[in-house]
Amino acid sequence: MIVLKEKSIHLDHQGIHQIPDEVFARRDTELLSLYDNALEALPDALWDLRALRVLHLGKNRLTCIGEDIRNLQALEMLDLGHNFLTSLPQSLGSLQRLSSFLYLGHNKLTSLPDSIGLLEKLAYLNAGDNRISSLPDSICNLKSLIELRMNNNGIQTLSGAIGELKLLQELHLENNQLQDLPDEVGNLGQLRKLRLRGNRLSALPESVGHLTRLDTLDLRNNELVYLPDSLYNLKHLRHLDLRGNQLTRISDRLLELSSLEKLDLRWNHLDALPGGMENMGKRGCLVYI
């Protein structure tokens, strides 16, 4: 059943294999939602709906997106998640009004096109749960980006270009193959959440101490053997997860993290605990050892 509203069409959860022809008769449609269907391909007529501002194609069976997506110049929000996409067209970068979000998660992508750097108004990018091994350097041009989710990929290295994302508040890189972080990560002065669990990090750069707005730092299941002294400069840190590393010692400066609400040190190899740990519990911090 097609649900028609003013300038919007909703065809979610219908099990359809093709888009009904009447959808293309409404050229003034601004929102088209085809979420959770059985679409394997998209007709050329879709790219003629040039008034579209929001397009939901998530949770279908799409294997490719054609270059003609460039025609949808009014798009502000695009959902291509939960499909079977192995690549993306370079013309994706032509959609320079994309601003709200671009969701590419849960596909089979091995890379992002260089043209993604042309999306200078984009605030939210999710390409998690793919097979991506590296980010293009052009990512540094996403000057409006607030949240970047690249979790559950195969990313082995992170370019220093990441430090150009001056407005970034959340960086999700859980469950990748990172062995180190570039010093430039310390340039992310607006960062609130940094999630790095499930990588191969053995050390953190001293520049992490420049992330003075950070409130959540997730380092669970890495290979850390020590923490940089600069970490204890993060006075706004509320959640620190260090489970499952190779730490043998924690500095007494840990108590300087006066905003901590939760600290998890389990599954390390600590020879001793920092002095005054009992005071952290008294001030309301949940401590797991």
At 277 the pLDDT is 87
Tell me the C-alpha distance between 80 and 264, whole Å.
36
Residue 203 resides in a domain: no
Q: What is the pTM of this model?
A: 0.97
Tokens standing for residue 248: 């043998």
Judged against a pLDDT cut of 70, whether residue 4 lies above it is answered with no
In a domain, 38, yes or no: yes
Q: What's the total number of domains in the chain?
A: 1
Close Cβ partners of 120 (under 8 Å, ≥ 6 residues apart): 96, 141, 142, 143, 144
Q: Is residue 90 part of a domain?
A: yes
Instruction: Confirm whether 230 is domain-assigned.
Output: no
Q: What is the CATH number of the domain that holds 74?
A: 3.80.10.10
Percent with pLDDT over 70 in the chain = 99
Domain limits for position 86: 1-116
pLDDT in tens, 184-236: 999 999 999 999 999 999 999 999 999 999 999 999 999 999 999 999 999 99
Tell whether the torsion through CA atoms of 177, 182, 185 and 186 is positive or negative. positive
Output the average pLDDT for the chain: 96
Residue 104, in any domain of the structure: yes
Residue 119 CA, distance from chain mean position: 16
**Dihedral sign for Cα atoms in the order 55, 57, 58, 63:** negative
CA pair distance 168, 79, nearest whole angstrom: 21
Beta strand 170-172 with 286-288 is unpaired
Looking at the domain assignment, is residue 107 inside a domain?
Answer: yes
Give the position of tokens 């299941």: 221
- At 59, list the tokens: 């949770």
Quickly list DSSP for the chain. --EEETTEEE-TT---SS--GGGGG-TT--EEE--SS------GGGGG-TT-SEEE--SS------GGGGG-TT--EEE--SS------GGGGG-TT--SEEE--SS--S---GGGGG-TT--EEE--SS------GGGGG-TT--EEE--SS------GGGGG-TT--EEE--SS------GGGGG-TT--EEE--SS--S---GGGGG-TT--EEE--SS------GGGGG-TT--EEE--SS------GGGGG-TT-SEEE--SS--SSPPTTHHHHHHTT-EEE-
- CA distance linking residue 109 with residue 131, whole number of Å: 5
Residue 5 has pLDDT above 80, yes or no: no
Q: Residue 252 has what pLDDT? A: 94
Residue 1 has pLDDT above 70, yes or no: no
Considering the domain boundaries, does residue 256 fall inside one?
no
